[in-house]
Amino acid sequence: MDFKAEINQAVQNRDEEKFYQLNSLMIYGKPFPKFALEWCINLPQLAKKENKILVIEAPRNHLKTTAITIFKAFYFLLTNPLSEVWLFSYSIHQAREFIGRLKNIVEYYYPEIIKQDSWNKQELGFINGSSYKLGSITSTYYGVHPDLIICDDILGGEGDPQKIIKSNLPPGFVEERFFSMIVPMLSPDSQLIVVGIPFFVGDLYSKLEKMSSDGEAYMIKKYPAVDGNKVLWEERSYDWLMQQKKKIGSQRFAREYLLRPFDAETSLISSSVLEQCLNYDFPMQHNRMFNDSIVVIGADFSISAHIGSDYCVFVALELKDNKIYFLGYDKFKEADYQTQLDRLQNFYNQYDADLIATESVSFQKIYSQGLGDRLLPIYEHKTHNEKNTFNIGIPSLKLYFERQQVILPAGDEDSREMIEDFIKEMQGFVYINGKVIHIGQHDDIAMSFYLGIQGLRSITSLDIPRERESFNEVISNPEEEQIWRMM
């Protein structure tokens, strides 16, 4: 068979399925899988017709990049002269690796369609005037409006706890870039396709799934590697998948192959523990409830007023009869120093609070000074290594929830929506290599709550859990570490 002639004919006839099948046979010697045809043809057509952003969640090592980033993009470029396709991944290095696969294929099989003066590791230019460019979700691109946008593995470091430890990016950075930079690149005739694996409850994919519930803006399609005994791809047999499960462990297998993100049960404080504290007769409060109680405001300030910065959050907690009532919170961003102080002053007055608890590290100190100038009562908490300890750190919060000392408002729809964000943030705390880290998109509400608890501890008899002295002392091996992470 003259594959090249047949493929050229398929392009001319706009026979997309034949294009994929012939290329797969020519390059790999095997047919293009049925599920990959669905990703490349049926789903994009349906999403385009319904004017929705297509999100494909598929397992590791199951042709996501090959199907969408390489062949879907290649067909689009060949059949749409003068078009522009952009690939976005977590890093430029990763995007170059992905686009480099197509570069190698074209150079070997299709050298005659290369536009030499725009053919490099940053851009693939074709003689029909179309081009394939790449970008990183961590960089800034404005004035770019491609005909097709592909986001492949954009979570990157935000899905890997080890990388989070080393990353200087603020929590939620990828989510912010996706909604404020990538999505606005769309024009009425263009399309956005997202492919990847959800990493944890509360990440970008969770957000998109929630937004897709109304059926208006996003089309979410999931393809787990195995459903019962039925596998997605015969080349990844059930026995092979079970061997992978043994090699990487059940939790990672559930995430990487079954598309079940790390959820609450893998965090320091599980969803079942948090949700048992929900009170459906208790809505968010706009002032203090008791005269003989203590109200503390936990304040986590934002470092910058710039677009894309982290949030500033104030949480109001009221202690009465050893019960901690979560009264409400104020969350906002892109506010300057004076605005943050003014809003905290109003929040303090609103709840007639007794104390404001802040973090006494780095830039936060200037806010404590500003509060002192306003003669507001302040407790400055130094959050360093003690954050990891069981008796006073983040892990200690778990016992308050287990004892149902914390009362979480769920008395109306607005309260439930607001407290859901808090619960998701609390689920993001995990314990790895002797450190408590947060793998969620944001931790601002959770940290404000933590500071509020420290404030209550500083001026009341609120008991400090002492069953264990610290995670560092009780954990001596990885197996025990996993046990404690699952507690």
The pLDDT assigned to 142 comes to 85
Structure tokens, 371: 């509060």
Place 390 in a pLDDT band, splitting at 50, 70 and 90.
low
Indicate if the pLDDT at residue 12 is higher than 80.
Answer: yes
Give bridge partners of residue 256 from the DSSP assignment: none
How far apart CA 82 and CA 231 sit, in angstroms, is 40
Q: What is the pLDDT of residue 211?
A: 82
Query: Residue 131 CA to chain centroid, in angstroms?
Result: 30
Cα–Cα distance measured from residue 386 to residue 363, given in angstroms and rounded to the nearest whole number: 19
How far is Cα 19 from Cα 13, in angstroms, rounded to an integer?
A: 10
Q: What is the pLDDT of residues 394-416, one digit of tens each?
A: 788 888 999 999 999 999 999 99
Give the residue with greater pLDDT, 393 vs 332.
332
Percentage of the chain lying above the pLDDT 70 cut: 83
Q: To which residue do tokens 């590290």 refer? A: 361
Dist CA 176 CA 184 (whole Å): 12
* Vertex 235 angle, CA 231 and 236, to 5°: 50
Q: Can you give the pLDDT at residue 174?
A: 85
What's the rounded Cα separation, in Å, for the pair 95 and 162? 21
Most confident of 228-232, 240-244, 271-275: 240-244
Q: Which domains does the chain have, with CATH numbers?
A: 33-223 (3.40.50.300), 271-485 (3.30.420.240)
| Torsion on CA atoms 165, 166, 167, 168, rounded to nearest 10 | 100
d(CA 226, CA 237) in angstroms, rounded, equals: 9
To which residue do tokens 């492949």 refer?
152
Say how far apart CA 390 and CA 470 lie, in whole Å. Answer: 4
pLDDT value, residue 364: 64
Instruction: Choose between 31 and 211: higher pLDDT.
Output: 31
Global model pTM greater than 0.75: no
Sequential DSSP letters for 197-227? ---BTTSHHHHHHHHGGGSSSEEEEE--SEE
- What confidence score (pLDDT) does residue 431 get? 64
The whole-angstrom separation of Cα 18 and Cα 9 is: 9
Q: What is the pLDDT of residues 15-27, one digit of tens each?
A: 999 999 999 999 9
Q: Across all residues in the chain, what is the average pLDDT?
A: 84
In this prediction, residues 29-43 reach a mean pLDDT of: 96
Q: CA–CA separation, 296 vs 319, rounded Å?
A: 8
Q: Is the pLDDT of residue 35 over 90?
A: yes
Residue 97, C-beta contacts closer than 8 angstroms, at least 6 positions apart: none
pLDDT band at 424 (very low <50, low <70, confident <90, very high): confident
Condensed to tens digits (0 to 9), the pLDDT of residues 350-386 reads 999 999 998 876 666 677 777 777 778 888 887 665 6
**Cα 310 → chain centroid:** 14
Residue 469, pLDDT > 50, answer no
pLDDT in the model for residue 321? 93
Phi, psi dihedrals of residue 55, rounded to the nearest 5°: -120, 115
- Supply φ then ψ for residue 444, to 5 degrees: -65, -45
The pLDDT of residue 308 is 45
For the ranges 109-123, 340-354, 390-404, 409-423, the lowest mean pLDDT is seen at 390-404
